[in-house]
Amino acid sequence: MTRVAVFPGSFDPMTNAHLDVARRASGLFDRLVIGVLNNPKKRPLFDIDERVALIRDCVADLGSHVAVEAFDGLTVEFARHRGAGFIVRGLRAVSDFEAELQMALTNRKLAPEVDTTFLMTALEYGYVSSSLAKEVAQFGGDVSAMLPAPVAKALAERLSDGPRV
Ligand code: PNS
């Protein structure tokens, strides 16, 4: 039996916490599809193609069983279309739990055949979030511990283009 999982998120941009979850999930599943949500309601710092390209760069060493794709609509439909029986999400702290529980229960109602699995974020990345990394970078702080090197570089370049955060 082939175990396929999707790892959905906004990834604006991918952090070391996301990458840690992707790396560990890649060891648990036969195929892992990282799904980057194209949400027209949000105005991301990186557009959908940039986010997909950055993640591909970051996960290049994880193996050919890891794919990165943009998606829109429901995560469970994305999972179904990819033949995935699992959704992977990272949990950092108790504060993540409530929203994640609500999402997992909603997704189970919509697609009972798709199970949500949680990986606890590594201790050293428990504080890391995309939005905080963007804020720190915006004010000139060092984000090298929070972001993979290609992402930190892309963020510095984007912020030097002018204020968009
Ligand atoms: O990185 P994020 O912003 O925490 O990811 C949230 C995401 C993309 C997983 C969630 O917003 C989502 O699944 N959106 C797609 C729409 C959907 O399926 N909504 C119902 C799930 S409760």
Lining ligand 1 with CB less than 6 A are 8-10, 37, 74-75, 103, 106-107
* Ligand 1, atom 12: closest residue by C-alpha: 75
Give the pLDDT confidence score for residue 147 in this predicted structure: 98
The active-site residue, picked from 18, 31, 51, 134, is: 18
The active-site residue, picked from 26, 31, 89, 130, is: 130
Which residues lie closer than 8 Å to 134 by C-beta, 6 or more apart? 12, 13, 45, 155, 165
Ligand 1 centroid to Cα of residue 32, in Å, is: 17
Give the pLDDT confidence score for residue 40 in this predicted structure: 78
Give the pLDDT confidence score for residue 163 in this predicted structure: 53
Give the pLDDT confidence score for residue 164 in this predicted structure: 52
Ligand 1 centroid to Cα of residue 107, in Å, is: 10
How many angstroms separate the Cα of 42 from the Cα of each of 10, 12, 22, 128? Answer: 10, 10, 23, 20
* Residue 153: both structure tokens together: 């570089």
Give the pLDDT confidence score for residue 140 in this predicted structure: 95
Distance CA 92, CA 133 (A): 15
Ligand 1 centroid to Cα of residue 8, in Å, is: 7
For the question of residue 18 being annotated catalytic, the response is yes
Which residues lie closer than 8 Å to 64 by C-beta, 6 or more apart? none
Give the pLDDT confidence score for residue 95 in this predicted structure: 85
For the question of residue 81 being annotated catalytic, the response is no
Distance CA 18, CA 21 (A): 5
Helices (H), 29-93: 48-58, 75-81
Quote the pTM value: 0.96
Note down pLDDT in tens along the chain; length 165 residues: 899 999 999 999 999 999 999 999 999 999 999 999 998 788 999 999 999 999 999 999 999 999 999 999 999 999 999 999 999 999 998 889 999 999 999 999 999 999 999 999 999 999 999 999 999 999 999 999 999 999 999 999 999 986 554
For the question of residue 144 being annotated catalytic, the response is no
